[in-house]
Structure 1
């Protein structure tokens, strides 16, 4: 394994846990009908798991699905082309669907997923993004539920990776680049 870079904490475990519960309460307040939570893999897996448990605490019992999309590969910059690596199996017709993703940045991947699910007859398709990073937004999409506003840094941890490393970190951090404080 490569040497661990100097990873600085942006959001610690307790802060994340508190915010995830608040997002679940926001979702519950919207009273979703026959809710299907679709985790966009791979980066959202920790957020999606914690959100599902938090929804349970808020008396919401969603079904869970997983949609594996890719636009990065092993790089740190999106290729711009979204590929479906694994589709969902559930029928979404007439259901409220929440797409759960780790980070809303360019928006291409989430817009692709939102359009795909909507075209299958979902009653609604909302987005819950752990991190919102609007500076590099290209697609016309916004998150309905936001965990945190994210500074313009490459983040790792809590499911997010750098070249497939550091997903396991229990916090969200960043590797300082030239010009970072």
Structure 2
């Protein structure tokens, strides 16, 4: 196994998530509700944490849903909900963006609805995009080599650390 370097510990993750929650509120202060859609599995954990924080800091009603993307066959996606998203403000949430492929296909999965607006929130944004995806709300932006990997450790619903390896 390659050497792992911790880039975010529990305390810094909590700080990043709280700041991201405030950004969600700032971008949606004219809304009464927002729907967070976490990309399984890491994005769902980030979405759950963000939802709890948003509920603490503002009156927004927050719904958390999830989408599962098969990375080998991304057009075969599964929306893990039956809720109608028409007219809703949606934030697609992931733990790490790399090429932008997973975000792109996740957007494809939800764009069958006539959404009011869509934003993208990620805990860690790498700058190796192969797809035209921009993250609107970012915890940490990091420049890495193509050979390096970001690993987010999650225990239950708690994000405990982020490593560069």
- TM-score, normalised on structure 2? 0.84
- TM-superposition CA deviations, 1:113-148 (whole Å, max 9, x none): 22332331111111001111112x111110110111
How far does residue 157 in structure 1 lie from its aligned partner after superposition? 2.7
* Separation of aligned partners in 2, 1:158 and 1:130: 12
Give RMSD over aligned pairs.
2.3
Contact kept? 2:121, 2:135, Cα under 8 Å: yes
Partner of 1:142: 134
Q: Which residue of 146, 153, 157 maps to 2:152? A: 157
Higher mean C-alpha displacement, 151-160 vs 22-31? 151-160
Partner of 1:67: 67
* Separation of aligned partners in 1, 2:140 and 2:5: 16
Find runs of 4+ consecutive structure 1 residues off by over 6 angstroms: none
User: Is the partner of 1:158 in helix, strand or coil?
Assistant: strand
User: Is the partner of 2:118 in helix, strand or coil?
Assistant: strand
Which has more strand, going by share of residues?
2
Contact kept? 1:47, 1:158, Cα under 8 Å: no
- TM-superposition CA deviations, 1:5-42 (whole Å, max 9, x none): 74321111111101111111011012244311111101
Higher mean C-alpha displacement, 119-128 vs 84-93? 84-93
Name structure 1 gaps, 5 residues minimum: 72-78, 161-166, 176-181
Count residues in correspondence: 157
The structure that has the greater radius of gyration is 1
Name structure 2 gaps, 5 residues minimum: none
Partner of 2:38: 39
User: Is the partner of 2:153 in helix, strand or coil?
Assistant: coil
Q: Which residue of 103, 116, 127 maps to 2:96? A: 103
Once the two structures are superposed, the pairs formed by residues 87-102 of structure 1 within 5 Å of their partners are 87-102=80-95
- TM-score, normalised on structure 1? 0.77
